[in-house]
Structure 1
Amino acid sequence: MRTQYKKGATEELESLMLTGDLNVIDVEWIIQFRREDPRKYLFNVRDPVMTLRDISESVNRRIVGNRSFDYVLQNREEVNRMAREELQKILDGYETGIRVVNVRLQNVVPPDPVKGAFNEVNEAQQEKERLINEAQETYNREIPKAKGTAERTINRARGYALERVNHAKGDAARFSAVLKEYRDAKQVTNQRLYLEAYETILANARKIYIIDSEQKGLLPLLQLNQQVTKGGDDR
């Protein structure tokens, strides 16, 4: 909404507003409207356009003044909606015959003297948000991966534990069966266990040596003394 003042200090100051957190902000806005009731538009208000301008400025100053600097910058659509609804309510109360079609904040910037400092703060805020987003992306990527690795490790451990328990139960059952057999027939059970043990051992042996049970050493030696004695007796 542009004023009908001559270009100068008055026009420049009308867009400067004080926010709820005591910051000065330069706000320009556009209002689109239509004459819904021509009779009211022509006869109920002396200057409908100027009236609309004054009311819209008052409404925007109140809305901006009740909210923070960052809120106005980041929530323009919400500010537009609130301004349109409140402006229409006041215009209906005055019976202006005006229907507000749209209210749109065109420029929302800090005043020229503080633009440099504002840009630095804004860049720092953007850098902060960038780092937060990168950290969030890393978190979203690494945490599920770590959870998957932990879950696989836990499942492997559970599987190994179940295997060992089942194996131990099987060993215990076999031992109980052998113990029962041993108590019923000790000699037969001892002999069977002995043969089974040797069967297991010999199954993996590359070579098998069978030694005479009366042989006193692993390497048999020729008994020359006995042969000489036998030869002398023959002569």
Structure 2
Amino acid sequence: MAWNEPGNQGKDPWGNRGGKDQGPPDLDEVFRKFSSKFGGGGSGNLNKMGLMLVLVGGLIVWGLSGLYKIEEAERGVVLQFGKYHDLVGPGLKWKPTFVHTIYPVNIQRINKINASGTMLTQDENVVTVQMEVQYRIVDPRKYLFSVTNPEQSLSEALDSALRYVIGHTTMDNILTVGREKVRRDTWDELQGIIEPYDMGMQLVDVAFKEARPPEEVKPAFDDAIAAQEDEERYVQEATAYSRQVEPQARGRAERMLREATAYKERVVLEARGEVARFTQLLPQYEAAPVVTRERLYLETMEQVYSSTSKVMVDNQEGGSMFYLPLDKIIQSQQPESAPNASSNRQPERVIRTEPSSDRSGGRTTTRQGRN
């Protein structure tokens, strides 16, 4: 049953028990009663109190929004109304919102930037080069405000430095032995370009990643590079061989020189000994020439025949003499344990004595048989 129908006995949910007022209560009256419970004052006090609550809530939100954190590897650049104010270190910080603006900058990270392109060399060839630069931020303030876009500025400077160096280098040096020089020259040229801008960067490394000829002529360049590598390998092998052979040749030459010197000294000493011996022998020869001459002859013959096989044949009666195969007889008499001894022995000699008119009583004739 509705509250305003007959039989409801005037029970009004809005508090009108008499049933005379059929509408909802006045909102002003409700707020007036609510404000009276807090000391009265009417709607003016209520507006002030609501404004205070809004202000306190906004102040709390504003204070909490100013909390921020700077990481260990970062530094915070503080701007006050858009102007540089301070540089803060790592940790939990607070800033007045809408007054300060914080830009965190990582000063420990190694950043990379690449440059590549097709460039013209000094000898008017075309080469495709790719290079990478690694840098680190050392001054966050200069990095943010020295130039508009530091990364783009560094990229353009790298491209300019690389084209300058490639334009002053030949194709062969870029592809083979001159890569390190190109890398170092590019580093120096890039450092000279960015130094006047003072961008707060420090170059860590410049890496020469790739250098190749155009695809249309790449097989010919590959053959040329292979030939140069073979040439270098052959040169190294020849150098190693010369270093190995030269000491041996020097050693042999030194040995031959020492042997020649020793032979010279030996011959000189032997000659001096012979001269001294003949000098001592001269008085004896003058005293007894026949005996001395015979003794010299016998000593000489003893020295000659000391290493030869000899057969003495006395042929005083004259007549013909048949020679025996002395070499075969002597070879058959040698021991079997020395089969090669016959190749080292001297030729056999046959000595025949015949009558002579000198004082020795006979003449000795030496005949050399066939070996």
TM-score range, shorter chain: 0.7 to 0.9
Of stretches 32-41 and 187-196 in structure 1, the one that deviates more from structure 2 is: 187-196
Give the unaligned 5+ runs of structure 2: 1-112, 318-371
Aligned residue type for 2:228: Q
SS at match of 1:191: helix
In structure 2, which of residues 288, 305, 316 is the aligned counterpart of residue 188 of structure 1?
A: 288
Aligned pairs (5 A) from 1:199-214 = 201=301
Q: CA deviation at 1:193?
A: 5.0
Q: Residue 42 of structure 1 corresponds to which residue in structure 2? A: 144
Equivalent of residue 173 in structure 1, options 254, 268, 276 = 276
Query: How many Å separate the matches in 2 of 1:42 and 1:34?
Result: 13
Give the residue type in structure 2 aligned to 1:51.
S
Which one of the candidate residues 122, 125, 135 is aligned to 2:238? 135
Q: State the alpha-carbon separation in 2 of the partners of residues 98 and 59 from structure 1.
A: 17
Match of 1:68 in 2: 170
Does 2:158 correspond to 1:56? Answer: yes
| Residue number among 247, 252, 255 corresponding to 1:149 in the alignment | 252
Higher normalized helix content (fraction of residues): 1
Aligned: 1:198 with 2:305: no
Contact 2:213 2:221 in 1 (8 A): yes
Stretch moving more, 149-158 or 24-33: 149-158
Question: 5 Å matches for 1:41-120?
Answer: 41-73=143-175, 74-120=177-223
Gap change, CA 1:75 and 1:39, over 3 Å in 2? same
**For residue 194 of structure 1, what is the amino acid of its counterpart?**
E
Structure 1 distance, partners of 2:226, 2:287, is 92
How far residue 44 of structure 1 moved from its aligned partner, in angstroms, is 1.5
Give the structure, 1 or 2, with the largest relative contact order (CA under 8 Å, sep 6 or more). Answer: 1
**103, 107, 124: which one aligns with 1:22:** 124
The alpha carbon displacement at 1:187 in A equals 3.1
Given the superposition, is the C-alpha separation of residues 116 and 201 from structure 1 closer, same or farther in structure 2, using an over 3 Å criterion? closer
TM-score with structure 1 length normalisation? 0.73
How many angstroms does 1:125 deviate by? Answer: 1.5
Return the letter of the residue paired with 1:186: E
In the TM superposition, residue 141 of structure 1 has moved relative to its aligned partner by: 2.7
Q: Distance in 2 between matches of 1:128 and 1:85?
A: 32
Cα-to-partner distance string for 1:34-74 (whole Å, 9 max, x where unaligned): 11111111111111111100101111111121122222332
Deviation at residue 159 of structure 1 after TM alignment: 1.6
What secondary structure, in the 3-state scheme, does the structure 1 residue paired with 2:172 have? helix
Greater strand share, 1 or 2?
A: 2
> In structure 1, what is the Cα distance between the partners aligned to 2:244 and 2:299?
57
Computing the radius of gyration from Cα coordinates, the structure with the larger value is 2
Distance change >3 Å, CA 175–CA 79, structure 1 → 2? same
Cα distance, 1:28 vs structure 2: 0.5
Aligned identity (percent) is 33
Structure 1, unmatched stretches of 5+, are: 4-13, 212-216, 220-235
